[in-house]
Structure 1
């Protein structure tokens, strides 16, 4: 059996609904352990990520590079692999395509958060950023929510048009917008998945909005205006993906908010913290546990 999977083979093993269910199951598994990830800065502005995790059956290590300078070129910004081992035998079970795992597991986590927290799950959905994460979030939300309409904003018009065409292929009404802030009041579902090198959303959102912000994962990266973040914290709820967000959630840190004071998605899913009304901001920074959930899904299939 071939255990070295390319991007399309990896995607075929990771349907979004099953991924979201595996993420939920991960929360209740006491055998799961996720050591702190290593993020090594590289010359030229890139980073090397080494992300291990394991449970009672499998162990994984994600090895990827993040190269922001590749944005807008033929090379992906994220490259690398996820290696999956059998804990009992030490055998290598699978090598999954790293960028595919990253895109699909991130979108599945956002989907689970939306299923738990979104007041108006049918949308319209505003996607800001039309790269791999934008495409994955479109597919995940279209599969797991009763979505009907999508707006797409991107600095690269060609990418926005391509994502709109994909949305129409999925049976959705889709439109390119040049200023995401102009349509923010119309959208109860929002995903920001940009390179996070500057604020892309800053206007006042709806009171029933659900925002999944996935682009930034360092203290210096930012997508959301500080006033928007503070508004969600004061009038609704901020939820972080994991406790590690206290070191990584640039949007919140630059707004003067303390991520450690907000509930995690695990606490919401397990009922340890109650969801509240008002605008909801879900800040996702990434975690090797999500890659472990993806490996579980791939092995099962």
Structure 2
């Protein structure tokens, strides 16, 4: 019988460390296939995403809507499901909450990239944007990298204070700042988790900086200034999550950079690329392979539950 999981149940099936470890395994798995995702524009400015992926054991499709106009309404910007099938039998095994999968796998990818590439993983961590992704990244970095100090910058004072209180409940010291550009000099780790409707960072980073930019996933979206992206390309190192960044990484594309010359996470794992000297920019655009990694973890957790 198919299990239909709500947001809390989906999160419980996706422990942070297990998800990060599965991402590493998936990048070495030659059976993984990820067709291009279909993005259908909707009236009113939203988009419908259809994202399939499969390996030798599991096939998934993520079906979600992205509705930027929902910002500030109490309705989530991302809604939908991830449907998980057994390849051998064709049976539908799980239906996972799509926004929860998106939040957790995105944050886990950032944490994995920081593990492998950040010059200094000690922090503090600067979180720009205090929404769903900001919360997920805080939790992932606290669990996976043992981050113990966070600085929060957000346009919404109430959401920033709520995230600071959540950080404190996890045993993480937290403070709220007004200016992310002023705070970046004090933080070795930064994640930008905004709606990507405009530049939120343009200050030059410190030499041991790691930035994971996750908000912009279309050519029109942007969080980092062109000058900041160009600085990383000239004075540091830029990595992207997948080759799809060639046509999705708005920050890099608007900076006029040749995205094809930047290594992907698959390159990092398969070529055993070591941490580079100087500042590192990791540009994340999203990929159904990350959702497949989440589905693999969730089905493993289901198997363990069924056995007990």
Q: TM-score range by the shorter chain?
A: over 0.9
Q: TM-score, normalised by structure 1?
A: 0.98
Match of 1:88 in 2: 88
C-alpha separation between the residues in 2 aligned to 1:270 and 1:170?
34
Query: How far does residue 270 in structure 1 lie from its aligned partner after superposition?
Result: 2.3
Task: Answer yes or no: is 1:184 the counterpart of 2:184.
Answer: yes
Contact map agreement 2:2 2:95 (CA 8 A) in 1: no
Task: Answer yes or no: is 1:238 the counterpart of 2:238.
Answer: yes
* SS in structure 2 at match of 1:168: helix
Task: Answer yes or no: is 1:144 the counterpart of 2:147.
Answer: no
Task: Answer yes or no: is 1:199 the counterpart of 2:184.
Answer: no
Size of the aligned set, in residue pairs, is 301
C-alpha separation between the residues in 1 aligned to 2:74 and 2:134?
17
Contact map agreement 1:263 1:273 (CA 8 A) in 2: no
Match of 1:154 in 2: 154
C-alpha separation between the residues in 1 aligned to 2:40 and 2:187?
37
Q: How does 1:112-131 map to 2 (within 5 A)?
A: 112-131=112-131
Residues 11-55 of structure 1: CA distance to partner in whole angstroms, max 9, x if unpaired? 000011110111100011111000000000111110000000000
* SS in structure 2 at match of 1:69: helix
Contact map agreement 2:127 2:191 (CA 8 A) in 1: yes
Query: How far does residue 272 in structure 1 lie from its aligned partner after superposition?
Result: 5.0
Q: TM-score, normalised by structure 2?
A: 0.96
Q: How does 1:2-17 map to 2 (within 5 A)?
A: 3-17=3-17
Match of 2:132 in 1: 132
Q: How does 1:25-64 map to 2 (within 5 A)?
A: 25-64=25-64
Query: How far does residue 259 in structure 1 lie from its aligned partner after superposition?
Result: 1.1
C-alpha separation between the residues in 1 aligned to 2:274 and 2:43?
44
C-alpha separation between the residues in 2 aligned to 1:109 and 1:207?
22
Query: How far does residue 269 in structure 1 lie from its aligned partner after superposition?
Result: 2.0
What CA RMSD, in Å, does the superposition of the two structures yield over aligned residues?
0.9
Listed as ranges, the gaps of 5+ residues in structure 2 are: 302-308
Contact map agreement 2:119 2:275 (CA 8 A) in 1: no
Contact map agreement 1:268 1:275 (CA 8 A) in 2: no
